[in-house]
Amino acid sequence: MADRFKEISEEIKSFKANNADELEQYRLKFIGRKNVIADLFTEMRNVPNDEKKAFGQSVNELKNLAKKKFQALIEEVNSGGNSVEEHPDLTLPPVKMEFGSIHPLTATRQRFIQIFERIGFNVSSGPEIEDDWHNFTALNFPENHPAREMQDTFFIEKNPDIALRTHTSSVQIRVMENEKPPIRTLSPGRVFRNEAISARAHCVFHQMEGLYIDKGVSFADLKQTLYHFVKEMFAGDTKIRFRPSYFPFTEPSAEIDISCQICHGDGCNICKYTGWVEIGGAGMVDPNVLENCGIDSNIYSGFAFGMGIERITMLRYGIKDLRLFTENDIRFLKQFNSL
């Protein structure tokens, strides 16, 4: 019998309750109506008379021990137990919250739209998988233009040709086909060209093209609009220049250069020591293109321009490798937390 007392008393002493459930288990076993100690009382009648007194005392001692322990366990559970998990150390410095950030390409696209929205442009979009008409033919591309070659264009189907769009000029065709002038629209979006991936080129990139069609639109309007854009997008002292160029869909056509944002004209490897960096192409919409879209070229004229969002973003933030935009390296993206 002495062993039994010892066993129960050990069990009481070593009992640990980490939560209310375990506390309840303790209560049922040692305190509740049919508890192990009460069972001992019922055994009393089998105990020889001369031992009854000592037996009774031992049972009472156990009962008191169980009650005391119960109080201690209640306090412990109410104060949250002593496990670290359930009872954090409130004096520790807080865990830093990680906030996401706007991707730099998105920030540039948004800024672009903001600048042009203020001068009356809206935003239009079109499919990334295009037919030959919208990507090439309506834009006055000759039958054997090199951009139609397999090396440059990702064709999905041949005859009739279906391809991943090589520029968002295709969206401008769709807008001109469906809307009446005056048209002032921006077409941002992904474009695809079969190019080897390097620090300066990617087979997928983003363009922002603009189109303005109305009566009496001139090259002076094109220059002034782009001049305004460059002043808003880049540092206030940025210079702009136009170089004669060629695109099938514009006549006359020009390349747009701005003064190098990295060296400010002193010469560096970004501007190849010329002080100027190309940001895109532009020109007056070729009358053939207007006619292809059902717009009378005797009444209306217009200008168009196209720029690479990656290029503009690299110049804005001094990013030297275009691959960083798609690697999803958090150390790169984190630097744009304040955008």
User: At residue 56, what are phi and psi to the nearest 5 degrees?
Assistant: -60, -45
CB 168 within 8 A of CB 126: yes
Least distance in angstroms from the C-beta of 147 to ligand PHE: 9
Any contact of residue 184 with ligand PHE (CB under 6 A)? no
Closest C-alpha among 237, 284, 245, 283 to residue 264: 237
The mark string for 78-107 relative to ligand PHE (x by CB under 6 A, - otherwise) is ------------------------------
Q: Does 169 bind ligand PHE (CB under 6 A)?
A: yes
Residue with tokens 């019922």: 42
Cα 311 to Cα 229: distance, rounded to the nearest angstrom: 15
Q: Closer CB to ligand PHE, residue 38 or residue 201?
A: 201
User: Are residues 316 and 335 in contact, defined by beta-carbon separation less than 8 angstroms?
Assistant: no
Residues 247-266 that bind ligand PHE (CB under 6 A): 247, 250
Q: Which residues contact 197 (CB under 8 A, 6 or more apart)?
A: 203, 323
Q: Judge residue 268's burial from the number of C-beta atoms within 10 Å of its C-beta, 0-12 exposed, 13-18 middle, 19 or more buried.
A: middle
Of the residues 186, 226, 304, 309, which one makes contact with ligand PHE according to CB under 6 A? 304
Question: In terms of residues, how long is the chain?
Answer: 339
> CB 134 → ligand PHE: shortest distance, Å?
12
Alpha-carbon span 202 to 228, nearest angstrom: 29
Asked if 281 is part of the footprint of ligand PHE (rule: CB under 6 A), the reply reads yes
Interface size with ligand PHE, residues (CB under 6 A): 11
Instruction: Tell me if 306 contacts ligand PHE by CB under 6 A.
Output: yes
Q: How far is the CB of 264 from ligand PHE (least distance, A)?
A: 26
By CB under 6 A, tell whether 305 contacts ligand PHE.
yes
Q: Which stretch binds ligand PHE (CB under 6 A): 44-52, 268-276, 299-307, 309-317?
A: 299-307
> Which of 181, 188, 189, 283 touches ligand PHE by CB under 6 A?
283
Return the residue nearest ligand PHE (CB atom): 306
Cβ closest to ligand PHE, residue 35 vs residue 108: 108
Per-residue x/- track, 215-254, ligand PHE (CB under 6 A) = --------------------------------x--x----
What is the Cβ-side half-sphere exposure of residue 244, based on CA atoms within 13 angstroms?
A: 2
Both tokens of 171, joined, read 């969206």
Nearer to ligand PHE, 167 or 184 (CB): 167
Residue 141 makes contact with ligand PHE by CB under 6 A: no
**Residues 9/62, Cβ–Cβ less than 8 Å:** yes
The CA distance from 49 to 310, in Å, is 99
What angle separates helix 2-14 from helix 49-78, to the nearest 10 degrees?
A: 10
Residues that bind ligand PHE (CB under 6 A): 167, 169, 209, 247, 250, 281-283, 304-306
